[in-house]
Amino acid sequence: MGKLKQSHHQSGKSNPVVQFIRKYASITFVKSLLFDPSRLPLVSWGILLAELLLNVIVVLRVPYTEIDWVAYMQECEGFLNGTLNYAMLRGDTGPLVYPAGFVYIYSIMYFLTGQGKNIRLAQYIFIGIYLLQMFLVLRIYSKSRKVPPYVLLLTTFTSYRIHSIYVLRLFNDPLAIVFLYAALNCFLDGKWNLGTIPVLDKMVSILPKFVTRVVGFDASLKDKVDVFCEAVCDNFKSFVEYAQPEKFWKKYRDGKRPKKGATEQREKLVIFEEEAEDFSL
């Protein structure tokens, strides 16, 4: 009888299913998933899977909120019809106020969604954008190994607004944020030149200066990339202004002529062009 019990105990030890249950269905393992930063990579994949299911449920159960999507499609439709003058590109909410990167990206969505009429497909596209951003954000936390996993669980699943912005309102802001987090991931991997590509996105007049200050471009690349980004940031307005016909800018500014600093802006534009010629990835 004693030998029978001993053999049964040994078979339980050697059974892989029993070993798996003992290892992963334990309080110790659950605690490590909640409090051990080294578990962040595993928890991150679980969060992504849960987010996929949650966003699909939101799309299927929560009514879509129309705010800017129709206007986006109207503005892109004008561009696709051959209108390149920003003063002539308009939607129901007013004139087009976003740079060309927005127009190009949403023009692709215009075709994919049947001239913007297939809202459900657009929502699924934004689920993909949201999951991509979450992957990039969670990857940063996973590389740091500093934050307990339960913090990410709370911040991810308790925010209704972040899900609403992506899959219920289809705003354009998330696209710029995806580029930003892609750049930060490149910087963390030491791929500084590659990281400048997503930085110089449609938010080019804002993101370069912000990112160079946060991650220390100048110290890491001996001012080379930082100078280029500074040139883009400081001269983007001048570049757009003087690359367009004066007739357009008279119409856009309601007849106002360039301000007194136009000469200095032209000089800065020349410096920007010289820096751009010297810059290479």
Amino acid, single-letter form, for residue 96: L
Confidence of residue 55 (pLDDT cuts 50, 70, 90): very high
pLDDT above 90 for 59: yes
Over residues 102-114, the pLDDT tens digits come to 888 899 999 999 9
Domain ranges of the chain: 1-35, 39-171, 190-281
How confident is the model at residue 229, as a pLDDT?
53
What pTM, to 2 d.p., does this model score? 0.68
Over residues 60-113, the pLDDT tens digits come to 999 998 999 999 999 999 999 988 887 888 888 888 887 777 888 899 999 999
| Contact of 187 with 219, CB cutoff 8 Å | no
Confidence of residue 29 (pLDDT cuts 50, 70, 90): confident
- Per-residue DSSP letter, 164: I
Over residues 214-226, the pLDDT tens digits come to 444 444 444 445 4
Radius of gyration over alpha carbons of the chain, in Å? Answer: 26
How confident is the model at residue 210, as a pLDDT?
45
Q: What Å distances lie between residue 196 and 139, 178, 215, CA to CA?
A: 19, 14, 12
User: What is the per-residue DSSP string for 205-251?
Assistant: TTHHHHHHHHHTHHHHHTTHHHHHHHHHHHHHHHHHHHHS-HHHHHH
Cα gap 226→181, rounded to integer Å: 18
pLDDT (average), residues 42-46: 91
Q: What Å distances lie between residue 5 and 2, 9, 18, CA to CA?
A: 5, 6, 17
How confident is the model at residue 199, as a pLDDT?
58
- Residue 46 CA neighbour count, 13 Å, CB half: 12
